Structure 1
Amino acid sequence: MTEYRSKPRHRRRRTALVVGVPLALAAAGAMTYGGAFGLFGETARPHASAADAPAPKAPAANTAWARASADGFASVDALGQNGTYGGRDGRTVTVRTLAELERYATAPEPYVIVVAATIRVNPVGKEIKVASDKTIVGAGTSGHLVGGGFFLGKGVHNVIIRNLTIRDSYRGTWNEKDRDFDAVQVDGAHHVWIDHNDLRRMADGLIDLRKDSTYITVSWNRLSDNNKTFGIGWTPNATAQLTIHHNWFRETGQRNPSTDNVARAHLYNNFLQDLPGTPITSAYGNYARGRTNMVLENSYFEGVHNPVTRDATATVTQRGNAFARTTGRNESGGSAPAFDPRKFYAYTLDSASAVPALLKSGTGPRAWTGTTGPAPAAPLAATRTLTVAKDGSGQFSTVQKAVDAVPVNNTSRVEIAVKPGTYRELVKIPANKPHVTLRGTGSSRKDTVIVYNNAAGTPKPDGSGPYGTGGSATVAVESDDSQLRNLTVSNDFDEARNQHVPNQQAVALRTAADRIVLDGIIAEGDQDTLLLDTAGKDKLGRVHVSNSYITGNVDFVFGRATAVITHSVITVKKRWNGTSAGYVTAPSTAANRNGFLITHSAINGDVAPRSFHLGRPWHAGGDAALRPQATIRNTRLSDAIKPAPWTDMSGFSWKKDRFAEYANTGPGAGPATADRPHLSDAQAAAQTARTWLNNWTPTPS
């Protein structure tokens, strides 16, 4: 558009967001999303000196696996610990003997300990004590611990055990009481991540999580050839919170796992397999005991007897699981309400039918973890989700590279999961790549930021002229049926420092397609922040925006799309020179279509009272045939809004187009006048989120 028209800090929040409505809508007087979310600060990490003695030669410490952190409940900030990241703040050392392993595992300093040999434990059954702030990782597939395991005692925290093979303390008798030989025993520890290990043939448990151990994630492990495999509990207190996902239980007799008095047990995408004709026969699969509250999703049970069992006092909520050749008890129900894991952390479910193949190929130690070699990129055909991480721990290091990997004319949804970080890049999802979901994986939409600083007048690098308004977008979504979730899209073009640049419109997010879902996002900029467009004048472009924050000062919600913005916060801000004046919306709607509907939201900002218009009609290109439309209803308006909230634009009168309010509240609301039209009750009944989008019902994917 041709009219007038700070970089955030990020950390993981300690508490999950309220699902459904932004906190600013729930707190009276909240002025911006910053106030609603609280202040951001640097995440504290412990720093300790290295051990006095020289460490063995180590691989490069800047490899991604050395800096990896947990997902699931182990990623949640609690008990004074910000997620689980192990020893990444310490030195990386390589060990090949039991003495070296014990020395660094028990040290008070943080360490990344690379096990690069087969270490035989003596005496058999010994459990090596592990202190806080440690990552113990196998070097490729060469890290073996034979005849013993690890012990994490009360108060130990922030430990990662990864990419190891721990095996063979079994001496011919299962569960002999004087042979309590576990692979990993955790008694009263918290924030532990057990990931991508091969655990087998131990005299007692492969994993025992006991005595109120909590904030633990167990993921992508192979557990096999064992009797009492994975026990959880040994406590009267129902306080533990655990995530168990993508584990392959093969030929394991019982405790697969058994969860006793677990406050929140989230099990998903696990594969329990009992083949006929083998020495070990399953007694039961997943077992909820005592006061356990278990959510069990998209797991696959093959040949398992009593696949899902619960005590009368426990609660099991099943969703999407698959059962093949199972017998006996398969139970769900209970008196406790099911908890929602997404209130605590983000995660992505694979379909249950895909689980066997996925886990057969993906569990256990990986050849590149613990080494200096690169991780191979998984072929797109083998995955529904593409991962992006700046630190190299994903399949791609930029968002655009992941978009480029989506096949042309794909017919099924591809999710691009973007790990927390600030991605300074331009992203375009082209029209020939529909069904793409761009999702931030952090606990907050502020954790994952895509940002750039082009303006309409910024020259293109190839010398072909300026970008123009639409071309200035940081993220452009041109493909139908695409979605953005749980992330921030920003244009941080600095108007004050670039007054020499003509045409300072700077778009953060542009949509130019149909059936677009924007859920739980932040779109922030100054002039022309959010461009809701269509693929052409004759094309329908429907957009549904929910649970989101939009910030700007001039025409910052604009375009010709048919759009609903609901349960969101729209924040007006001062211009670059500190003055307060602007316009929230600038629709450019075709005469036969619906324009913008803002409903059940809040419009506010730290600006002078009565300084902002709700909108004005944009007749793009001077097209008099357009009939711009904006309805704002059931929305709280702060005193930033003018008493006559609509105004003309470029010679076109708003009164000849379609602008109205209904049932708004707050100091910026006002009664119906000639300068402030209100819908009648009958008109309002026809202008709702349900009726606005021409028979399209948005569906999260």
Structure 2
Amino acid sequence: MTDIRRKPRHRRRRTAVAVGVPLALTAAGTLAYGTDLGVFGADAQASASAATAAPAWATATADGFASVDSLGQNGTYGGRDGRTVTVKTLADLEKYATAAEPYVIVVAATIDMNPVGKEIKVASDKTIVGSGTSGQIVGGGFFLGPGVHNVIIRNLTIRDAYQGIWNDKDHDFDAIQMDGAHHVWIDHNDLRHMADGLIDVRKDSTNITVSWNKLSDNNKTFGIGWTTNVVTDITIHHNWFRETEQRNPSTDNAAHAHLYNNFLEDAAGTTIKSSYGNYSRGGTKMVLENSYFQGMNNPVTRDSTATIVQRGNTFVGTSGRNESGGTAFDPKAFYAYTLDKTADVPALLRSGVGPRGSIGTTAATTATTKAAAATTLTVAADGSAQYRTVQAAVNAVPANNPSRVVISVKPGTYREVVKVPSNKPHVTIQGSGASRKDTVIVYGNAAGMTKPDGSGTYGTPGSATMSVQSDDSQVRNLTVTNDFDESKHQDIANQAVALLTQADRIVLDGVIVNGDQDTLELETAAKDKLGRVYISNSYITGNVDFIFGRATVVVDKSVITLKKRWNGTSAGYVTAPSTPADRKGILINRSAINGDVTAGSFFLGRNWHPGGDTTVDPQATVRDTTLSAAIKSTPWSDMGGFSWKDDRFAEYRNTGAGAGTASSNRPHLTDTQATDQEVTDWLGDWTPSAS
């Protein structure tokens, strides 16, 4: 983008206005590049897996803490936005469970793990569901690693990895283990007789709901913790613990643990004796409601540093410690729920837990492997996939394709220019690695560079490493970089775009977009065309006008990183909107703006009137966002002879060292203005989805 300074025609001054998000939403904290955060949740558009509507179990969403929006994930809905596939072999189960794409995976057979103890590494956006009572996993289970999110495991029997040693120290064979996962729903399973845990929620895993499961015949049954951080939010309700010795559960350093309507039973005359029931350890805050304890030793215990608030529980034939104390939290401040009567819990759970014949058993499970593969193209630089370059895969997409085509790009560095033309809609370019850093698309063109054919310079849009010109397209889980070296080329125009959009209904989710000047250009197909872009869970880096253009843009739950200039100085502008009149501009929402730059050196934005265009009405709003000390106390700037005060710039409820009070040089929205200008107003009739 070029700063053309021309004297504007006289225009009437207007009050700055902008848009926002629901007032209940809070500012985002700092995210980690390596975390694979998800896309959309409870408000996403579900896509049927067949010509008819998908059955309820294929589109089911979690309750409890798994339903709470956090970490860039809106609730837990699993693979409902992907295809439904039926599997009967270990190879097929592992293939789809580890795939980058969302899937509803119906397990319609008994699958023996090989070797015994194998734990399939489940990727994000998956529903793994048993077909009626026929879905069984024998001798192993599932592992959800750091950053894995939006996973549902339902209606399965997972059993028999036991190796003959009751307190087994050598075989860490779990039914379901999580290390740093979030938004997981474990529901209606029969989990039993494993060498180690039935469920392990470890290492800062959070937003977990465990409901309507039978956990039995096990020693170390359900552990929560293995971390000094107090971050885990977990709901455990309507589970039957029967003949389980310890960890029922053991809850260590959970920020919020809500246990209700569970049935803990130690039956008389058996060889398995309970050591303890519900245990609140470390810094845990636990609310324990309307649960039924029968024959349990030490049914409720707590550390002196932990909290348990008990309400409405029943204890029959129990002995030993039964403790409570401290203050906890109100679960209804996070989500709605209804308690069943405590007296009804044993009968209710004996008949209601475990796999259901009605789940996973309709005609909607007949999608085939061939159908799934037909809409996915794979790319690997080493030649191990269908295509070696991303552009080759784009070229293979049919013109005017009527439905989504996913281009799955394996980890690696792809030094190429990628362009998705306007006649190829519904394209998703998605990295298949565990982190957005694993797959990198990079090039180094700049506006002032001469094209190889000598036909002139690239210009700003032409410098883009990746250009998305087709409607309903997406970029997910990868990095796009323009690595043009300004220090070596001060003789030419050094605008260098990493990612350019020129279309409507574009999703950028879980991406890193790296550059210096003009990093992210957000345009429309033409000035009179609408172009909406939703950016979430992402990182955008740059220094001068690095989020700019005339599109209608929401940057949500993301981190904007300020960079020093090529010569080490700190000065720049985050946004440069060129919004047409009567359109929405750039909204930065629930995000963080920071970077290793000098305090007070960056503007939030300036008003771009391309070529001195007096008909545009640039708009930018930053709200519910954390601003570092790098932001100037007067955060908006004039450009090209136009006063920013004649255009639309505002803030609302920002925090951090760079936030400031309202003044004539720092306009803030009123509460009334903010409620009329939400994300939904920005996006109109479009609800972004993962499909």
Report the TM-score, using the length of structure 1 for normalisation: 0.53
Q: Which amino acid aligns with 2:414?
A: Y
State whether structure 2 residue 389 is matched by structure 1 residue 398: yes
Please state whether the residue corresponding to 2:394 is helix, strand or coil.
helix
**8 A Cα contact 1:233 1:259, kept in partner:** no
Between the aligned partners of 2:624 and 2:536, the Cα distance in structure 1 is 15
Residue in 1 that maps onto 2:486: 495
Gaps of 5+ in 2: 5-26, 37-110, 123-136, 146-157, 177-189, 201-213, 223-238, 249-349, 356-361
State whether structure 2 residue 660 is matched by structure 1 residue 693: no
Between the aligned partners of 1:333 and 1:426, the Cα distance in structure 2 is 56
**8 A Cα contact 1:475 1:508, kept in partner:** yes
**8 A Cα contact 1:594 1:692, kept in partner:** yes
**8 A Cα contact 1:232 1:258, kept in partner:** no
Between the aligned partners of 1:667 and 1:555, the Cα distance in structure 2 is 22
Residue in 2 that maps onto 1:575: 565
1:241 is displaced (CA, Å) by 5.5
Residue in 1 that maps onto 2:578: 588
Provide Cα deviations, 1:175-213, integer angstroms capped at 9, x if missing partner.
Answer: xxxxxxx998635678999xxxxxxxxxxxxx9746x99
Residue in 1 that maps onto 2:641: 651
Between the aligned partners of 1:663 and 1:215, the Cα distance in structure 2 is 36
1:312 is displaced (CA, Å) by 7.9
State whether structure 2 residue 592 is matched by structure 1 residue 602: yes
1:499 is displaced (CA, Å) by 2.1
How many residues align? The count is: 415
Please state whether the residue corresponding to 1:186 is helix, strand or coil.
coil
Between the aligned partners of 2:427 and 2:144, the Cα distance in structure 1 is 32
Q: Which amino acid aligns with 2:416?
A: E
Please state whether the residue corresponding to 2:461 is helix, strand or coil.
helix
Residue in 1 that maps onto 2:408: 417
1:695 is displaced (CA, Å) by 2.5
Residue in 1 that maps onto 2:437: 446
- CA gap 1:356/1:521 in 2 versus in 1, 3 angstroms: closer
Provide Cα deviations, 1:78-135, integer angstroms capped at 9, x if missing partner.
Answer: xxxxxxxxxxxxxxxxxxxxxxxxxxxxxxxxxxxxxxxxxxxxxxxxxxxxxxxxxx
Map 1:69-218 to 2 at 5 A. 186-187=115-116, 209=139
1:382 is displaced (CA, Å) by 5.5
Q: Which amino acid aligns with 1:543?
A: V
Provide Cα deviations, 1:130-159, integer angstroms capped at 9, x if missing partner.
Answer: xxxxxxxxxxxxxxxxxxxxxxxxxxxxxx
Provide Cα deviations, 1:568-592, integer angstroms capped at 9, x if missing partner.
Answer: 1111110000011000000000011
Between the aligned partners of 2:417 and 2:566, the Cα distance in structure 1 is 24
Between the aligned partners of 1:415 and 1:599, the Cα distance in structure 2 is 28
Residue in 2 that maps onto 1:510: 500
State whether structure 2 residue 606 is matched by structure 1 residue 673: no
1:26 is displaced (CA, Å) by 3.6
1:240 is displaced (CA, Å) by 3.4
Of 669, 674, 691 in structure 2, the residue corresponding to residue 684 of structure 1 is 674
Q: Which amino acid aligns with 1:449?
A: V
Residue in 2 that maps onto 1:2: 2
State the superposition RMSD in angstroms: 4.2
- CA gap 1:188/1:494 in 2 versus in 1, 3 angstroms: same
1:465 is displaced (CA, Å) by 1.1
Please state whether the residue corresponding to 2:548 is helix, strand or coil.
strand
Residue in 2 that maps onto 1:373: none
Between the aligned partners of 1:215 and 1:620, the Cα distance in structure 2 is 49
Provide Cα deviations, 1:238-297, integer angstroms capped at 9, x if missing partner.
Answer: 953579xxxxxxxxxxxxx998537469xxxxxxxxxxxxxxxxxxxxx9985799xxxx
**8 A Cα contact 1:240 1:264, kept in partner:** no
Residue in 2 that maps onto 1:240: 173
Between the aligned partners of 2:551 and 2:143, the Cα distance in structure 1 is 48
Between the aligned partners of 1:386 and 1:333, the Cα distance in structure 2 is 42
**8 A Cα contact 1:239 1:263, kept in partner:** no
Map 1:521-600 to 2 at 5 A. 521-600=511-590
Map 1:36-75 to 2 at 5 A. none
Map 1:197-276 to 2 at 5 A. 209=139, 232-234=161-163, 240=173, 260-261=193-194, 263=198
1:407 is displaced (CA, Å) by 1.1
1:3 is displaced (CA, Å) by 3.7
Q: Which amino acid aligns with 1:240?
A: F
Between the aligned partners of 2:351 and 2:643, the Cα distance in structure 1 is 62
State whether structure 2 residue 417 is matched by structure 1 residue 387: no
Between the aligned partners of 2:216 and 2:400, the Cα distance in structure 1 is 48
- CA gap 1:382/1:645 in 2 versus in 1, 3 angstroms: closer
Please state whether the residue corresponding to 2:510 is helix, strand or coil.
strand
**8 A Cα contact 2:28 2:590, kept in partner:** no
- CA gap 1:545/1:191 in 2 versus in 1, 3 angstroms: closer
**8 A Cα contact 1:215 1:241, kept in partner:** no
Please state whether the residue corresponding to 1:415 is helix, strand or coil.
strand
Residue in 2 that maps onto 1:436: 427
**8 A Cα contact 1:445 1:521, kept in partner:** yes
> Which one scores higher on RCO, CA 8 angstroms, separation ≥ 6?
2
Please state whether the residue corresponding to 1:240 is helix, strand or coil.
coil
Residue in 2 that maps onto 1:61: none
Residue in 2 that maps onto 1:9: none
1:356 is displaced (CA, Å) by 6.3
Q: Which amino acid aligns with 1:627?
A: D
Map 1:325-404 to 2 at 5 A. 334=353, 357-358=368-369, 383-404=374-395
**8 A Cα contact 2:29 2:626, kept in partner:** no
State whether structure 2 residue 651 is matched by structure 1 residue 661: yes
Please state whether the residue corresponding to 2:688 is helix, strand or coil.
coil
Between the aligned partners of 1:556 and 1:531, the Cα distance in structure 2 is 8
Report the TM-score, using the length of structure 2 for normalisation: 0.54
Residue in 2 that maps onto 1:463: 454
- CA gap 1:521/1:183 in 2 versus in 1, 3 angstroms: closer
Q: Which amino acid aligns with 1:695?
A: D
Gaps of 5+ in 1: 5-23, 39-181, 194-206, 217-228, 244-256, 266-286, 294-309, 316-330, 337-350, 362-379
1:497 is displaced (CA, Å) by 1.7
**8 A Cα contact 1:517 1:545, kept in partner:** yes
- CA gap 1:690/1:263 in 2 versus in 1, 3 angstroms: farther
